[in-house]
Amino acid sequence: MRAEYEALIKRINYHSHRYYVLDNPEITDAEYDALMRELLEIESQNPSWVTADSPSQKIGGTVLSGFDTVEHTVKMQSLQDAFSNDELREFDSRVTSALGRKAHYCVEHKIDGLSVSLEYRNSLFVRGSTRGDGSVGEDVTENLKTVMSIPLKLNVDVDYLEVRGEVFISKKNFEKLNTQRELDGEPTFANPRNAAAGSLRQLDSSVAAKRGLDIFVFNIQQIEGVEINSHIEGLRFLRDAGFKVILNDKVFENIDDAIGEVEKIGSERTSLPFDIDGAVIKVNDLSEREILGSTAKTPRWAIAFKYPAEKKETKIREITVQVGRTGVLTPNAEFDTVSLAGTFVSRATLHNLDFIRERDIKLGDTVVVYKAGDIIPEVLEVVKDKRDGSETEFFMPKTCPACGAPVTRDEGEAAYRCTGADCPAQLERTITHFVSRDAMDIEGMGPSIVAQLLERGHIKNSSDIYYLSKETISSMDKLGEKSADNLLAAIEKSKSNDLSRLIYALGIRYIGIGGAKAICKKLKNIDAFFTASADELTEIDDVGAIMAQSVVSFFAQPHVKDMIERMRAAGVNMEYIEEEMQGNNLEGKTIVLTGTLPTLGRKEASELIEKNGGKVSSSVSKKTSFVLAGEEAGSKLDKAKALGIPVVDEEEFLKML
């Protein structure tokens, strides 16, 4: 029986490797599932037999209270970016000058995911960690065990091996994941990279196991007992060991040939089954890498080429107007569907009438569209040469398309706003905002559930959420008893949120997360909001006259008092909970965030700043202490440079803490 069990493990691992790594299965999914059921049955009867390399370890189920830190013996550095062929040739000149001879190069895809380290002892997987700041990451071993393309036991004998790879979610799995989240009423992920990063940091490994994570391994960090002399040799070794690699066996003898390969990868970019954000050129000879060395942040032997945003021409067929939760009317361009950065796009926001007039956009225009940061569709410009005279001017409506109330535009504002107090579009988006992640964080109550509850008359404002019954929830489309139980648990959990979350959730005009926290820190409880004057509020740092008046006006409305009292009666917390400080290294400093950071989300970075005594600001001014900048940083970075304000990256920021 034991021999049969061990043979079964080898058989399952073999078929798993063929399916998830080689993409060349020999058996059907049903046959594979039958083998797994047989394995689990044997292990349930003989739990002492379960080994570290058993396929059952990929199912997940371990729940952690938090992640331990891991100090990287070999620093996980970032790469220098290049945006033109001239910059790639400058890189080649630096390499040639340092070596005194021409180097040979490898070129590979730059996977758009989350960088991780995998460690093996005696060929068994023992630890996996995130890159973190490059020096210290987080131990996510249990979640990485669930990635089917990561071998738990290597096909080769090696005393110790540390490799670096990029965890990602394929385009196909990302689409399936978001479709399921929509059906479950959960917020969808913005892009595959965010989905992969969020999945890898789940404290419950069974959640990570369901997300369809994948990995490409691209570098040997450390190895004992085996001699490797070149990058290509290392990739071949990794492939034979059982890892999933993108092995391009070509070695390029000059930079022009390497650039040709970069351009080839770029031309194939949209047809790939996974997202890439560039291509990487690396020196092949490892002894030459030793000579070239590294700076504090980047290796001198590699460079990443970032492709320009893909642009497509299309025709605007309609300009529709959407009503937001604060009553703002936003025009949106509806155009002929085009494929951009791997997804199909048929609409883009036009922001406001000023934006439309500045770009001279008309209904029927042929326009150039692209994805800002490879994520958000934008109209870049009008192709005026293709106008035929049939194009028409767009005007904002005089009445709200959702409720018919008059539309106004305040002096000095770009926005047009609905004046209807009972506008259904505002109510739906107000409640959707109330339950969102940064507000009351009621997981499972997505836009589709909110829309159903409103349509069927089960809720009329946000307080009604706390009086929903299991019977009401389970009667919603695509929701059953289990989903109802989960949603009720999420509603109950939200009652203990800090007051600042509630204030932000109420959707008070001009009051963001930072403003809500600042005011709550001063007023301490909800009752003080009903008696606070505008003068009292403007004494709080970062609270201006317009914000203060907005708060006073909001709490002066009779229905707000009734709504708050219903929430209080339901057990919703109405007190400010003082955050536990981690340190005071940022005390007195005002920090502005811009761009996408390598590992930290914007919310996570903001919380770190505040827990270390700092203050987050949304705009750059002379009072700004420094700007924390990531990739795709925009005008805030330009303004900081113009004012001479220090700019730091994530690595420097984490060192400050």
pLDDT tens digits for 237-282?
999 999 999 888 899 999 999 999 999 999 888 788 898 889 999 9
| Residue predicted with more confidence, 205 or 286 | 286
pLDDT confidence of residue 61: 61
Distance CA 258, CA 252 (A): 6
* Confidence check: pLDDT of 421 > 70: no
Q: Summarize the confidence of residues 57-79 as an average pLDDT.
A: 80
pLDDT confidence of residue 43: 85
pLDDT confidence of residue 410: 76
| Residue predicted with more confidence, 579 or 392 | 392
Query: What are the Cα distances from residue 544, in Å, to 529, 536, 550, 578?
Result: 16, 11, 10, 23
Backbone Cα Rg of the chain: 28
Distance CA 192, CA 204 (A): 20
Residues in a beta bridge with 252: 105
Residue 311: active-site member: no
pLDDT band at 657 (very low <50, low <70, confident <90, very high): confident
Look at domain 2-58 and name its CATH class. Answer: mainly alpha
Mean pLDDT score of the chain: 88
Kindly report, residue by residue over 158-168, the tens digit of the pLDDT. 999 999 999 99
Q: Are strands 590-594 and 626-629 parallel, antiparallel or unpaired?
A: parallel
DSSP 236: H
pLDDT confidence of residue 388: 94
Residue 35 amino acid letter:
L
Residue 269's SS3 state is helix
Residue 137's SS3 state is strand
Question: Does residue 527 contact residue 561 with C-beta atoms inside 8 Å?
Answer: no
Q: Summarize the confidence of residues 31-59 as an average pLDDT.
A: 82
pLDDT confidence of residue 627: 92
Distance CA 62, CA 85 (A): 47
Residue 222's SS3 state is strand
DSSP state letters, 38-56: HHHHHHHH-GGG--TT-GG
DSSP state letters, 169-206: E-HHHHHHHHHHHHHTTPPPPSSHHHHHHHHHT-SBHH
* Confidence check: pLDDT of 227 > 70: yes
Q: Summarize the confidence of residues 181-195 as an average pLDDT.
A: 71
Kindly tell me the burial class for residue 64, based on how many C-beta atoms sit within 10 Å of its own C-beta (0-12, 13-18, 19 or more): middle
Which percentage of the chain shows pLDDT scores above 90? Answer: 48
Q: Summarize the confidence of residues 339-357 as an average pLDDT.
A: 85
pLDDT confidence of residue 64: 64
Question: CB-based contacts of 348: which residues, under 8 Å, 6+ apart?
Answer: 332, 333, 335, 369, 377, 378, 379
Quick one: which of 255, 233, 259 has its CA closest to 104?
Answer: 255
Quick one: which of 468, 470, 466, 448 has its CA closest to 458?
Answer: 468
Among 217-221, 493-497, 540-544, the least confident range: 540-544
pLDDT band at 600 (very low <50, low <70, confident <90, very high): confident
Among 302-316, 324-338, 624-638, the least confident range: 624-638
Kindly report, residue by residue over 126-156, the tens digit of the pLDDT. 999 998 888 888 899 999 999 999 999 999 9
* Confidence check: pLDDT of 303 > 70: yes
Residue 206 φ/ψ, nearest 5 degrees = -70, -25
pLDDT band at 183 (very low <50, low <70, confident <90, very high): low
pLDDT confidence of residue 190: 66
The alpha carbon of residue 97 and the mean position of all alpha carbons in its chain are separated, in whole angstroms, by 40
Length of the chain in terms of residues written: 657
Kindly tell me the burial class for residue 262, based on how many C-beta atoms sit within 10 Å of its own C-beta (0-12, 13-18, 19 or more): buried
Distance CA 369, CA 347 (A): 10
| Residue predicted with more confidence, 202 or 488 | 488
Residue 632's SS3 state is coil
Distance CA 172, CA 174 (A): 5
* Confidence check: pLDDT of 62 > 70: no
Distance CA 238, CA 219 (A): 9
- In CATH terms, 71-305 corresponds, of 3.40.50.2300, 3.30.470.30, 3.40.50.300, 3.30.70.920, to 3.30.470.30
Residues in a beta bridge with 392: 363
- Confirm or reject CATH 3.40.50.150 for domain 311-408, answering yes or no: no
Among 46-60, 295-309, 451-465, the least confident range: 46-60
* Confidence check: pLDDT of 182 > 80: no
| Residue predicted with more confidence, 657 or 293 | 293
| DSSP H/E element including 380 | strand 376-382
Residue 425's SS3 state is helix
| Residue predicted with more confidence, 354 or 66 | 354
pLDDT band at 284 (very low <50, low <70, confident <90, very high): very high
DSSP 306: P
Question: Does residue 340 contact residue 283 with C-beta atoms inside 8 Å?
Answer: no
* Confidence check: pLDDT of 15 > 90: no
Distance CA 224, CA 219 (A): 15
If one looks up domain 424-570 in CATH, what number appears?
A: 1.10.150.20
* Confidence check: pLDDT of 83 > 90: no
- Could you state, in order of their start, the residue ranges of all structural domains in the chain? 2-58, 71-305, 311-408, 424-570, 590-656
pLDDT band at 185 (very low <50, low <70, confident <90, very high): low
Q: Which of the residues 58, 110, 371, 636 is marked catalytic?
A: 110
pLDDT confidence of residue 501: 94
Which percentage of the chain shows pLDDT scores above 70? Answer: 96
Q: Summarize the confidence of residues 94-115 as an average pLDDT.
A: 94
If one looks up domain 590-656 in CATH, what number appears?
A: 3.40.50.10190
